[in-house]
């Protein structure tokens, strides 16, 4: 199975913010969209990703939410392509302890995949396999 299989089901909507957006703006976006991370875009270029974890780390040292997200975002990104195998993506996410990975093709942001999306896809696969086996055994 490929990343494209997940994207087909979940869609290509990605919430983004510019590097100059404040942490307060980020918190509003996370709450409004009920998500755990936002891709930081400088024009058409991906600058980084900023997650709830980044906010928590910042708040440990300072409660200033006027700080730009550029100061707390992760810039060493893992990314994937639509053709990538889901199991390889899951392994990368587990090894690097990351929960959100942008899907990029030809330098363009196409979607974002979360660890929850990967787990849901795998559970759907297992359920389909179980149903097939049950149909085989019972008739």
User: Per residue in 7-39, pLDDT tens?
Assistant: 999 999 999 999 999 999 999 999 999 999 999
pLDDT class of 136 with cuts at 50, 70, 90: confident
Helix spans in the chain (H): 3-10, 23-33, 52-61, 86-96, 115-138
User: Per residue in 116-135, pLDDT tens?
Assistant: 999 988 888 778 777 788 88
DSSP for 70-100, please give it.
Answer: GGTSB-S---B-TTSBHHHHHHHHHHHT-SE
Q: Using CA atoms, how far apart are residues 94 and 17, in angstroms rounded to an integer?
A: 26
Q: Which residues, in sequence order, are bridge partners of residue 51?
A: 37
Burial of 118 (0-12, 13-18, 19+ CB in 10 A): buried
pLDDT at residue 41 tops 90 = yes
User: Per residue in 69-109, pLDDT tens?
Assistant: 999 999 999 999 999 999 999 999 999 999 999 999 998 99
* CATH of region 3-138: 3.10.580.10
Assign 106 to helix, strand or coil: coil
């Amino acid at each position: 199975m490929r990343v494209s299989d997940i994207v087909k089901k979940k869609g290509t909507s990605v919430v983004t913010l510019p590097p100059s957006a404040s942490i307060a703006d980020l918190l509003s976006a996370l709450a409004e969209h009920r998500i755990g991370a936002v891709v930081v875009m400088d024009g058409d270029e991906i600058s980084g990703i900023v997650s709830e974890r980044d906010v928590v780390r910042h708040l440990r040292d300072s409660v200033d939410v006027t700080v730009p997200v550029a100061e707390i975002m992760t810039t060493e990104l893992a990314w994937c392509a639509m053709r990538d195998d889901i199991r390889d993506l899951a392994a990368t996410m587990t090894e690097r302890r990351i929960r959100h990975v942008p899907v990029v093709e030809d330098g363009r942001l196409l979607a974002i995949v979360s660890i929850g999306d990967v787990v849901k896809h795998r559970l759907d696969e297992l359920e389909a396999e179980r149903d097939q086996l049950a149909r085989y055994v019972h008739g």
